[in-house]
Amino acid sequence: MHRFKYRGRKLYCEDVRVADIARAVGTPAYIYSKNTLLDHYNKLKHALREFSPLLCFSVKSNSNLAVLKTLVDVGAGLDIVSGGELYRAKLVKADPRKIVYAGVGKKQNEIIEAIRYGILFFNVESQEELELINRCAKRLKKKVNVAIRINPDVDVSTHKYITTGKAESKFGVDFKTAKNIFRSSWRYRSVDIKGVHLHIGSQILNLEPFEKAIRKTLRFLADNKIFIEYINIGGGLGIVYTFEKPQTAMGFAGRISSIIRKSGLKLILEPGRFISGNSGIMVTKVLFRKKTGSRNFVIVDSGMNDLIRPSLYEAYHNIVPVTKPQKPSARVKYDIVGPICETGDFLAKDRKLGRIKRGDLLAVMGAGAYGYAMSSNYNSRPRAVEVMVSGNRFFIGRKRETYRDLVRGETTR
């Protein structure tokens, strides 16, 4: 359960009025609920407690330092995919033994930095990458742990841009290549292959693909007499944006526990959206309304540069008023659009909402994952402010960008 609820006509984040935050910090603003983050983390941890799993929060879903610190402080590990994410992990003093590093295109300097920090392991996505990690480890006179990311060729019904476990996707290696890697592991003397890694996609609402991918992988290990220590089953757990009925943490655990138990392997997960998705909203202000032909446009002060999910994946985010009107009005079909000069710049289309007027504040729900993290400066728009709420207090987790920030590092000659 998230902690963005109405009390009377006012939307609250925990015990703070969202309108008060918007007044203090301006709009657009991302607002995160610390206790929702913790609640979601604890739910998963509790559901899988018999395995004492390592939950590595997927930094790419929300990399704000205040968010990372909240989770790291209660024992979360981190799933990283770049030197930049490693830098963030260091800033929040994440335990290196709880960091896993995935990604198909790791660069040499990134590999070296991660080895130096002493991460738990790399999720290796190709044989050439394994060779490079081996060379780097040798140079640093270290023995480095890795897991092989397997592409189990499992279909997932989610948006095609966020499915990763089909044979044609760029992620991981197929079973045949994995077998070759394990068979030739003696060649990689500075590397210890400790585990296998899976991540089959994101916003997955049913359990079959998870189960299928894990079963296929365990069968592969058994058939080939491969003995390792860890299975990392990645992230991907879907959440409620509107009417979805995803699995709960308990439902997920119920389905996979017996399989994992039999394998005897240590369990790692990399949840992103499950923890951060419904822990954040984006608040935006209505600038203008206009009617053209059959359409009612509401033009707000945030756009696809702030939240690209609707434009990129046709994602549906609930949009609600920060203050409900005194008397409920007839519902009108609106297109909620941003100020960016692109037709694809919208937050919602054909959305039935009560009457909206200039100056109203709207909350875009479920914006805690892949919201700010995917924002940009397109159209030279400074990025939004990020705020963290805990109980009846809030603080700015990242300042709104200024025009000066926009041109940092640029020169004219």
Active site amino acids: 341
- 370-386 CB burial, b ≥16 within 10 A, e <16: bbbbbbeeeeebebbbb
Beta carbon of residue 313, minimum distance to ligand LLP (angstroms, whole number): 6
CB closer to ligand LLP out of 42 and 323: 42
**Member of 102, 156, 307, 348 binding ligand LLP (CB under 6 A):** 102
Among 108-116, 186-194, 230-238, 252-260, the segment contacting ligand LLP (CB under 6 A):
230-238
Among 41-49, 140-148, 185-193, 264-272, the segment contacting ligand LLP (CB under 6 A):
264-272
CB closer to ligand LLP out of 203 and 284: 203
Asked if 61 is part of the footprint of ligand LLP (rule: CB under 6 A), the reply reads yes
**Member of 134, 202, 284, 305 binding ligand LLP (CB under 6 A):** 202
**Member of 30, 370, 372, 394 binding ligand LLP (CB under 6 A):** 370
Asked if 271 is part of the footprint of ligand LLP (rule: CB under 6 A), the reply reads yes
Q: 280-292 and 361-364: which strand pairing?
A: antiparallel
Asked if 284 is part of the footprint of ligand LLP (rule: CB under 6 A), the reply reads no
> CA distances (Å), 223 to each of 74, 219, 220, 247, in order?
38, 6, 5, 31
Beta carbon of residue 290, minimum distance to ligand LLP (angstroms, whole number): 29
**Member of 235, 321, 338, 368 binding ligand LLP (CB under 6 A):** 235
**Member of 77, 234, 366, 397 binding ligand LLP (CB under 6 A):** 234
CA distance 215 to 157: 18
Asked if 272 is part of the footprint of ligand LLP (rule: CB under 6 A), the reply reads yes
CA distance 230 to 373: 29
Asked if 321 is part of the footprint of ligand LLP (rule: CB under 6 A), the reply reads no
CA distance 146 to 185: 11
CB closer to ligand LLP out of 34 and 60: 60
Neighbours of 403 (CB within 10 A): 8
Among residue numbers 329 through 348, which ones bind ligand LLP (CB under 6 A)?
Answer: none
**Member of 28, 152, 172, 236 binding ligand LLP (CB under 6 A):** 236
CA distance 256 to 287: 48
CB closer to ligand LLP out of 145 and 353: 145
**Member of 203, 217, 278, 390 binding ligand LLP (CB under 6 A):** 203
Asked if 273 is part of the footprint of ligand LLP (rule: CB under 6 A), the reply reads yes
Among 137-145, 231-239, 321-329, 396-404, the segment contacting ligand LLP (CB under 6 A):
231-239
Long-range contacts of 205-210 (CB under 8 A, 24+ apart): 205/157, 205/158, 205/238, 205/244, 205/245, 205/246, 205/247, 206/157, 206/247, 207/247, 207/251, 207/252, 207/255, 207/256, 209/154, 209/155, 209/156, 209/165, 210/236, 210/252, 210/255, 210/256
CA distance 238 to 271: 10
Of the candidates 305, 379, 303, 313, the residue with the CA atom closest to the CA atom of residue 347: 303
Q: 121-124 and 99-101: which strand pairing?
A: parallel
Give the phi and the psi of residue 33 in degrees, each rounded to 5.
-105, 115
List residues binding ligand LLP (CB under 6 A).
58, 60-61, 79, 102, 162, 199, 202-203, 234-237, 270-274, 309, 313, 369-370
